[in-house]
Amino acid sequence: MKLLEVNNLKTYFKTSKGMLKAVDDVSFDLEHGEALGLVGESGCGKTTSALSIARLLPKEGRIVGGQILLDGRDVIPAPESELRRRRWTDVSIIFQGAMNALNPVMTVGKQISEAIVLHENSSEADALHKTKGLLDLVEIPSDRYKHYPHEFSGGMKQRAMIAMALACDPKLIIGDEPTTALDVMIQAQILNLLERLRRELSMGMILITHDLAILGETCDKIAVMYAGKIVETGSVKDIFEDARHPYTKRLIGCFPNVKGPKVVPDGIEGFPPNLLDPPSGCAFHPRCEFACDICKIQMPESVNVGGKHVVACHLKEARQ
Ligand SMILES: Nc1ncnc2c1ncn2[C@@H]1O[C@H](COP(=O)(O)OP(=O)(O)O)[C@@H](O)[C@H]1O
Ligand SMILES: [Mg+2]
């Protein structure tokens, strides 16, 4: 059985200006121990997808359609009490700048062990023991459990948050731009750490980023999101070596040398669409240099172009 199956997920926000379709018919899946990279420009619905899976949406957000099967069980109809229990043991999210969420007046070790006591009903002694093991796992000397957050560097704090996310042995860990606030060297360390943990603990992982370049070495497969939809998905090789969708190509074009410095700092020309009033047809058509008449009126269907490589684009070259 797959670890996660997201089928036709639709998550909308009620706003004063109308209904905003943040996630609009998104499907993907994940095997146990597999890593998926979810990439796209700011505002395309990545965080909303993650919050939907973890059932942590703010109250104005609603899942209005689809299924989220975690180990075969649909989490959407689950009652709040069950969600609370499963939140730490099933899915854990590490947010961008999570380290700033550490409580400044409590030692790092205490914060982790409190989470363990709370969610696993273990004794203080057992929780402390586990905390030291977790710190060790994220490469923080375990005697530093007595230290306060201000005594930690930014990278160390983020690693402490990863230890916290692992506290109840989740089956799935979601990193939502987990390294965005960190400098490049530390980013690489954190990504390597996540990668190692995923393998050692055989967890599923979803790594969310606006920076396609960081996914190449960390993930098995990639889903490219645009305006609330997945426009292309495939193995890392499919995406980096045989991108089909003009948007994916442009994302890759921004980073000609995947391991080198970015040439364009962030994103591509033009603006992401307003999801309150998205363009007709293919939402990318106003920014697409290859757009034809049909792109303006009809949403392209997803077609399989080999293996698990799927693309949603009207262009003949993209579908061949
Ligand atoms: N609480 C909210 N209320 C209304 N709109 C929201 C809310 N959170 C996010 N959105 C909107 O949903 C869309 C997707 O946002 P998000 O999932 O945060 O994108 P990403 O993580 O890819 O940057 C954006 O248009 C954003 O403005
Ligand atoms: Mg986000």
> What are the residue ranges spanned by the domains of the chain?
4-99+169-319
- Ligand 1 neighbour 170 (Cβ under 6 A): no
- Ligand 1 neighbour 77 (Cβ under 6 A): no
Q: How far is the CA of 23 from the centre of ligand 2 (A)?
A: 12
Cα gap 315→312, rounded to integer Å: 9
Atom of ligand 1 nearest to the CA of 42: 23
Sequential pLDDT tens for the chain (320 residues): 999 999 999 999 999 999 999 999 999 999 999 999 999 999 999 999 999 999 999 999 999 999 999 999 999 988 888 877 777 788 999 988 788 889 999 999 999 999 999 888 899 999 999 999 999 999 999 999 999 999 999 999 999 999 999 998 899 999 999 998 788 888 899 999 999 999 999 999 999 998 888 898 899 999 999 999 999 999 999 999 999 999 999 998 755 444 444 444 455 778 889 999 999 999 999 999 999 999 999 999 999 999 999 999 999 999 98
Would the pTM of this model clear 0.75, i.e. be above it?
Answer: yes
Q: What is the CATH T-level fold of the domain 4-99+169-319, as seen in this structure?
A: Rossmann fold (3.40.50)
Q: Exposed/middle/buried for 227, CB within 10 Å: 0-12, 13-18, 19+?
A: buried
Q: What pLDDT is recorded for position 85? A: 72
HSE at residue 2, side-chain half, CA atoms within 13 A, is: 15
Cα gap 73→51, rounded to integer Å: 17
Cα gap 71→92, rounded to integer Å: 15
Nearest bound ligand to the CA of residue 22: 1
- Ligand 1 neighbour 248 (Cβ under 6 A): no
- Mutating to test ligand 1, I would choose from 9, 12, 13, 177 the residue with most ligand atoms within 8 A of its C-beta, which is 13
Q: What pLDDT is recorded for position 259? A: 47
- Ligand 1 neighbour 14 (Cβ under 6 A): no
What does each C-alpha distance from 172 to 166, 178, 213, 281, 286 come to in angstroms? 10, 15, 22, 34, 36
Instruction: Give residue 63's Cα distance to chain centre.
Output: 17
Residue whose C-alpha is closest to residue 212's, from 30, 35, 40: 40
Can you read off the two tokens belonging to residue 190? 């954190």
Q: How far is the CA of 50 from the centre of ligand 2 (A)?
A: 9
Angle at the Cα of 108 (from 103 to 114), degrees rounded to 5? Answer: 80
Q: How far is the CA of 297 from the centre of ligand 1 (A)?
A: 25
The greatest distance separating any two alpha carbons of the chain, rounded to the nearest whole angstrom, comes to: 67
Beta bridge partners of 38: 208, 223
Nearest bound ligand to the CA of residue 12: 1
Can you read off the two tokens belonging to residue 57? 């949406």
- Mutating to test ligand 1, I would choose from 17, 48, 62, 206 the residue with most ligand atoms within 8 A of its C-beta, which is 48
Atom of ligand 1 nearest to the CA of 58: 1
Q: Are 255 and 208 in contact (CB under 8 A)?
A: no
Nearest bound ligand to the CA of residue 177: 2
Q: What are the backbone angles phi and psi of residue 226, rounded to the nearest 5°?
A: -145, 125
Q: Are 268 and 250 in contact (CB under 8 A)?
A: yes
Which amino acid is present at 261?
P
Tokens 């854990």 map to which residue? 92
Nearest CA to ligand 1 atom 14: 45
Nearest bound ligand to the CA of residue 278: 1
